[in-house]
Amino acid sequence: MPAILLLNGPNLNLLGTREPGVYGATTLADVEARCRAAAERLGFSLEALQSNHEGALIDAIHQAGVRHRNGELAGVVFNPGAFTHTSVALFDAISGVKPLPVFEVHISNVHARESFRHHSYVSPAAAGIVVGFGVDGYELAIEGLARRIRAA
Ligand code: DQA
């Protein structure tokens, strides 16, 4: 069974208690459990990693690229958190492991928030983007990834 990697960046370990008016009350553990169930329904296993460190996220993307080449990993669903708006290095990492599909997810509608959240360094390298559906966006991205793979 090929795997999907659910990757979460900085501060997303605080889901559930962090600004619940913006990000909701669901914890990261609950998000991961829901995503695991969604992935398994679609015939994939789910691996989940959260890190507050840019380099650890880059390493995870590189490893995902190797595993995608080996046929072990179908793709990545990635919420880069605030690194979305700052990280040329994440853009380079995702660009450097193509054709690994990386779907970018944001819980909140970043375009309806502060202007510094309007630009994403990640989006030009992403296979698709899900923004503003709350934590449901993660499952929507998994569904979209599965459809993309079936269609290919
Ligand atoms: C976020 C949006 C980012 O702007 C913010 O820094 C986050 C979460 C989201 O999921 O809405 O940490 O990626």
Protein residue whose Cα sits closest to atom 8 of ligand 1 = 81
CA gap 137, 19 in Å, rounded: 18
Residues β-bridged to residue 46: 4
CA gap 15, 13 in Å, rounded: 6
DSSP state of 81: G
Protein residue whose Cα sits closest to atom 7 of ligand 1 = 81
Query: Which of 6, 86, 106, 116 should be mutated for ligand 1, with most atoms under 8 A from CB?
Result: 106
CA gap 37, 60 in Å, rounded: 22
Protein residue whose Cα sits closest to atom 6 of ligand 1 = 82
Rg (CA), the chain: 14
Domains and their CATH numbers in the chain: 3-151 (3.40.50.9100)
Pocket lining: 81 vs ligand 1, CB cutoff 6 Å: yes
CA distances from 78 to 15, 50, 55 (A): 15, 10, 15
Active site residues: 23, 106
Cα-based torsion angle of the residue sequence 83, 137, 132, 50 in order, rounded to the nearest 10 degrees: -20
pTM for this entry: 0.98
Which of 139, 123, 149 lies closest to 36, judged by CA? 139
Query: Which of 13, 117, 121, 140 should be mutated for ligand 1, with most atoms under 8 A from CB?
Result: 117
Distance 94 CA to ligand 1 centre (A): 18
Sorted by sequence, the CB contacts under 8 Å of residue 55 that are 6+ apart come out as none
Question: SS3 of 148, please?
Answer: helix
Q: What is the pLDDT along the chain (152 residues), one digit of tens a residue?
A: 799 999 999 999 999 999 999 999 999 999 999 999 999 999 999 999 999 999 999 999 999 999 999 999 999 999 999 999 999 999 999 999 999 999 999 999 999 999 999 999 999 999 999 999 999 999 999 999 999 999 98
